[in-house]
Amino acid sequence: MSDKKIPYKIYLAENEIPKQWYNVRADMKNKPAPLLNPGTLKPMTAEELAPVFCEELVAQELNNDDAYIDIPEEIQNFYKMYRPAPLIRAYFLEKALDTPAKIYYKFEGNNTSGSHKLNSAIAQAYYAKKQGLKGVTTETGAGQWGTALSMACSYFDLDCKVYMVKVSYEQKPFRREVMRTYGASVTPSPSTHTAVGRKILEAHPGTSGSLGCAISEAVEVATTTDGYRYVLGSVLNQVLLHQSVIGLEAKAALEKYGVKPDIIIGCAGGGSNLGGLISPFMGEKLRGEADYRIIAVEPASCPSFTRGKFAYDFCDTGMVCPLAKMYTLGSGFIPSANHAGGLRYHGMSSTLSQLYHDGLMEATAVEQTSVFEAAEKFARVEGILPAPESSHAIKAAIDEALKCKETGEEKTILFGLTGTGYFDMVAYEKFNDGVMTDYIPSDSDLQKGFDGIPKFPGNEF
Amino acid sequence: MSDKKIPYKIYLAENEIPKQWYNVRADMKNKPAPLLNPGTLKPMTAEELAPVFCEELVAQELNNDDAYIDIPEEIQNFYKMYRPAPLIRAYFLEKALDTPAKIYYKFEGNNTSGSHKLNSAIAQAYYAKKQGLKGVTTETGAGQWGTALSMACSYFDLDCKVYMVKVSYEQKPFRREVMRTYGASVTPSPSTHTAVGRKILEAHPGTSGSLGCAISEAVEVATTTDGYRYVLGSVLNQVLLHQSVIGLEAKAALEKYGVKPDIIIGCAGGGSNLGGLISPFMGEKLRGEADYRIIAVEPASCPSFTRGKFAYDFCDTGMVCPLAKMYTLGSGFIPSANHAGGLRYHGMSSTLSQLYHDGLMEATAVEQTSVFEAAEKFARVEGILPAPESSHAIKAAIDEALKCKETGEEKTILFGLTGTGYFDMVAYEKFNDGVMTDYIPSDSDLQKGFDGIPKFPGNEF
């Protein structure tokens, strides 16, 4: 089909929004390793997970068999509020790069949470409501996930307690106010509300907090408060399941025009966006129906895939959560403060880790200033100011498109544009002022993180 | 046609984006009064306007005859970057209000400028480029217009000099950084770059600036720098012309489903959004083909329509611009600092002023806290965090929908949702903290502004 007929933006019709999520684990020969109980080192059972997570979400977490799971009607209705998300043909970018490559991006930023996080937040809130819970707890760093969850909880009239890393709470008040506008309570972490918070404050009176600490507080509150559970916006299998809506929509939109991507690119922090975007394509690849080059892009300052170990590790710094087998820098690893964007997680989705380990996808690490250069170029020609996270994928997509320019190949590139950068202007300001720097951890920096990975038989790395 | 078939979001196809703007003045029996030269009190000629504005824009400004004006292909291409904008059926809001009213809103916020301002910015930048200019100058308050213009200038590789009210420059750095990311130079006003700026700084050393002062600086730079012209984001006839794309798209989307609105509501500051939204509907009304109730919504703290005088007045505080006949509070009127949102302009589009004067539309003034209450309700059920400006229209739409609930009437309401509130979280924080207050100017407050309106024969009020 001729390029001329492909519009700038491909919108599916409302009745084409997926009615089932796709569970890529069902098609994986090598399933992701199960979560382990850190005490017994045995796989976590549904019963063990139930005090922390909603029942139905536990079932989804452990379900490696069903390829398709129905999206409840209430969630489908909510999806209509901001979906289908457009698949955009990057004609302006192609022209600016003078590349024969055909570039498409799935844009998930046109909702008030500003990112794809809402796709899973609404699902997790729904199952909490269905279970008759009063509310949920979570942590947030810069606030994308917390914002998405506050919107979802407001919709289902659930209480939403967000523990926000103190430095973000104070220095990034805007997303905090969006959460409050949606009725969430936002507490700077560490706080005096929890035993773990008080303990940390006693040990480090002036601490500005960390994501790991906020997770530990949110989990403590969920497990000690009647009618509450903890929810998490990335890493987990259930999150990748909900986020499959990204890839399913992108694939359906491409198929309307008979387009098959050669290369699929996504940024990777905990894996929620990448996992969602690639799911249905990876499914075809696993079933031998198609082949795609799939590239995870991570920051050079937090290089889980490219320099991490494939091992069982704690999901949180506080070491209260189960052990997950994943590419990890060690739960004690904290990226340099000069790293501006998100994607700061020390580990990675178990599902994506297994796929990467099995050679089904590639990974690349990119440096911060080059990411912002790509972001600026993209913003100027495509008109969308991208989130720093998303800009990692932009950088890799531009690099691949420029390779096509060299070779003359007309490859089709699809990447995920997870969100907008409207709440990241402090980082853009650094870039605009020319004071942004790069940071690549040394081998010995990384070794300190690896030293904290628990050692037990079968966990050699 | 049954409601069931109307989706949540109606997107026109790309080839349905309007290819002509609609000029409502062509259908007005009583044309808007011409701009006057403040020295001679004679209508401004194209020659007199040419040193300030681009030639083609002057022609559009003075064109009261042609109903349709072709949108140049380059502008049509740019529109494809972020248009068509969706027309959204507010099913969630209708349900929350339990109203028989059918509510639609045209959402113009899904672009990086965050508002409808981009529709005219790209047109003004195009004509500047076509004329072979090096760049343009403008003023901006909170930054919506400046952001839109910086995006447009970046696209056409034009220099963009923005004079930003100093208090906003310092306290609202985020939009400033968006402008810089798009390559604009942003100068806090008053500055030492201009004679008028230096004069004001000498008289008021600690001043935090005003929009009127920023306009004067931008005009001075445009008229004294080779290859530059001044551009303005509201009030002018040319702006309403470009913004007609909002109403044309909204009308086309409604017609796809056989829907005719009974009530059309828009917020009004200088009139750019309201004028654009209502244009084609007003055209039908003027031609006697249909009737609509049209409501302008303004802040009670800056009530140009509802309490202003219909008279010739200066468009700027510095009194360097031509005189326009409009509803005005006097060019010396400055809304109370406790007014959080935009819509702070002392005057109003001449075109809208004439239509209002001729009884073709209504106006209502609403108070700030009630506007934010409406904004919060809307955000929670419709999932979009609205700009404070847009929330004035939301407030009025909710009021009309609640009247329908009382009477049982199934009226169809269309309102303009001009933008998102992501850069207005300081105002939302005030609201969330319960410290937002209302301000209604007293008659004697207003009289001070009226006293500054120039007196000359024919300008009785």
From chain B, pick out residues whose CB is under 8 angstroms from the CB of A388.
Answer: none
Distance CA B207, CA B187 (A): 15
pLDDT at A144 over 70: yes
Cβ–Cβ below 8 Å for B80 and A7:
yes
Task: Please answer yes or no on whether B383 and A111 come within 8 Å at the CB atom.
Answer: yes
Chain B residues with CB-CB distance to A383 below 8 A:
81-82, 111-112, 151, 155
For the segment A34-38, the average pLDDT, to the nearest whole number, is: 94
The residue-averaged pLDDT of B91-105 equals: 98
For residue B136, give the H/E element and its range: strand B135-140
Nearest residue on chain A to B429, judged by CA atoms? A177
Q: Smallest Cα–Cα separation from B156: which of B181, B112, B122? A: B122
Contact criterion met (CB < 8 Å) for B114 and A422: yes
Categorize the per-residue pLDDT at A3 as very low, low, confident or very high, splitting at 50, 70 and 90.
low
Instruction: Give Dmax (Cα) for chain A.
Output: 66
- Given A112, A381, A425, which is nearest B379 (Cβ)? A112
pLDDT of residue A1: 45
Across the interface, of B151, B420, B429, the residue whose CB is closest to A383 is B151
B:373-412 residues touching chain A, CB 8 A cutoff: 376, 379-385
Structure tokens at B262: 């009974």
What is the C-alpha separation between B104 and B9, in angstroms, rounded?
9
Residue of A nearest to B375 (CA): A181
A43-70 pLDDT, tens digit per residue, is 999 999 999 999 999 999 999 999 999 9
Q: Residue A385: list chain B partners with CB under 8 A.
A: 112, 178, 181
Interface with B, mutate which of A3, A380, A420 (most B CBs under 10 A): A380
Mean pLDDT over residues A285-314, rounded?
97
Confidence grade of residue A4 (pLDDT, cut at 50, 70, 90): low
Q: Tens of pLDDT along B17-65? A: 999 999 999 999 999 999 999 999 999 999 999 999 999 999 999 999 9
The mean pLDDT value for A315-326 works out to 86
Chain B, 109 to 168: residues with Cβ < 8 Å from chain A are 110-112, 114, 151, 154-155
Q: Which helix (H) or strand (E) holds B188?
A: strand B185-189
Q: How far is CA B433 from CA A28, A211, B142, B417, B427, in A?
A: 50, 26, 21, 25, 10
Is B422 in Cβ contact with A154 (below 8 Å)? no
Nearest chain B alpha carbon to A429: B177
Q: Are strands A362-366 and A323-328 parallel, antiparallel or unpaired?
A: unpaired
Mean pLDDT value of segment B418-426: 94
pLDDT for residue A335: 77
Please give the pLDDT value at position B437: 92
- For B268-337, the DSSP string reads -SSSHHHHHHHHHHHHHHHTTS---EEEEEEETTS-HHHH-EEEEEESSTTS-SPEEEEEES-TT----T
Across the range B138-153, mean pLDDT stands at 94
The answer to whether A97 contacts chain B (CB < 8 Å) is no
The dihedral sign for the CA sequence B82, B86, B92, B94: positive
Mutate to test the interface with B, among A385, A423, A431 (most CBs of B within 10 A): A385
Rounded-to-integer distance, Cα B316 and Cα B437, Å: 27
- β-bridge pairing B159-165 and B135-140: parallel
Look over chain B and give the mean of its residue pLDDT values, rounded to a whole number: 95
CA dihedral for A299, A301, A302, A304, sign (positive or negative): positive
Give me the pLDDT at residue B211, please.
Answer: 81
C-alpha distance from B109 to closest chain A C-alpha (Å): 9
- Summarised one tens digit per residue, pLDDT across range B158-177 is 999 999 989 889 888 899 99
CB atoms within 10 A of CB A4: 6
CA distance B111 to chain A (A): 7
Q: List, for residues B198-246, the tens digit of each pLDDT value.
A: 998 999 888 888 887 899 899 999 999 999 999 999 999 999 999 999 9
Q: What is the pLDDT of residue B3?
A: 52
Q: Which residue of B has its CA nearest to A180?
A: B432
Q: How confident is the model at residue B1 (pLDDT cuts 50, 70, 90)?
A: very low
Q: In this complex, is the C-beta atom of A173 within 8 Å of any C-beta atom belonging to chain B?
A: yes
Cβ <8 Å between A380 and B154: yes
Interface test with A, best of B174, B177, B382 (most A CBs within 10 A): B177
Test B181 with A111 for CB contact under 8 angstroms: no
A44 Cβ contact partners less than 8 Å away, ≥ 6 residues apart = A34, A35, A36, A37, A322
- Cβ separation of A112 and B82 shorter than 8 Å? no
Nearest CA in chain B to A376: B181
Out of A183, A422, A428, the one facing B423 most closely (by C-beta) is A422
Flag if B181 and A379 touch (Cβ within 8 Å): yes
Counting one residue from chain A and one from chain B, the pairs whose CB atoms sit within 8 A come to 108
Distance CA B59, CA B45 (A): 10
Chain A residues inside the 8 Å CB shell of B80? 7-9
Dist CA B271 CA B118 (whole Å): 15
For residue B285, which amino acid is it?
A: K
Q: Please answer yes or no on whether B428 and A155 come within 8 Å at the CB atom.
A: no
Contact B109, B418 (CB under 8 A): yes
Instruction: Give chain A positions within 8 Å (CB) of B110.
Output: 110
Question: What is residue B4's predicted lDDT score, i.e. its pLDDT?
Answer: 56
Q: How far apart, in whole angstroms, are the C-alpha atoms of residue B294 and residue B360?
A: 8
Cα(B184)–Cα(B113) distance, rounded to whole angstroms?
13
CA distance B3 to A52: 42
The residue among B4, B380, B433 with the most chain A CBs within 10 A of its CB, best to mutate, is B380
Q: Is the dihedral of CA A417, A437, A313, A168 positive or negative?
A: negative
- Most A CBs within 10 A among B76, B82, B181, B428, hence the mutation to make, goes to B181
Determine, for residues B432 and A177 on separate chains, whether the beta-carbon distance falls below 8 Å. Answer: yes
At position B178, the amino acid (one-letter code) is V
Res. A146: pLDDT tops 50: yes
DSSP labels, A61-111: HH--S-SEEEPPHHHHHHHHHH-SPPEEE-HHHHHHHT-S-EEEEEE---S
Residue B256 has pLDDT above 50, yes or no: yes
pLDDT score at A200: 87
Chain segment A407-448, per-residue pLDDT in tens = 999 999 999 999 999 999 999 999 999 999 999 999 999 999
- DSSP class of A259: -
CB contacts of B7 in chain A (<8 Å) are 13-14, 80
Mean pLDDT score across all residues of chain A: 95
Residues in chain B: 461
CA of A175: which chain B residue's CA is closest? B425
| Residue A333 three-state SS | coil
DSSP, collapsed to helix, strand or coil, labels residue A411 as: coil
Three-state secondary structure call for residue A346: coil
Q: Which of B8, B114, B183 sits opposite A14 (nearest CB)?
A: B8
Q: Do B183 and A379 touch (CB under 8 A)?
A: no
Give chain B positions within 8 Å (CB) of A420: 112
Cβ pair B80:A8 closer than 8 A: yes
Residue A84 has pLDDT above 90, yes or no: yes
**pLDDT of A253 over the 50 cut:** yes
Q: Give the strands of the sheet with B135-140, arranged side by side.
A: B185-189, B159-165, B135-140, B228-230
By the CB < 8 Å criterion, does A1 face chain B? no
**What is d(CA B128, CA A330) in angstroms, rounded to the nearest whole number?**
56
The total of other beta-carbon atoms located within 10 Å of residue B443's CB is: 8
Show residues of chain A in contact with B379, CB under 8 Å. Answer: 112, 181-182
Alpha-carbon gap: B158 to the closest alpha carbon of chain A (Å): 12
Please tell me the total number of residues recorded for chain A in this structure: 461
Contact (CB<8Å) A174/B422: yes
Residue-wise pLDDT for B359-381, tens only, equals: 999 999 999 999 999 999 999 99
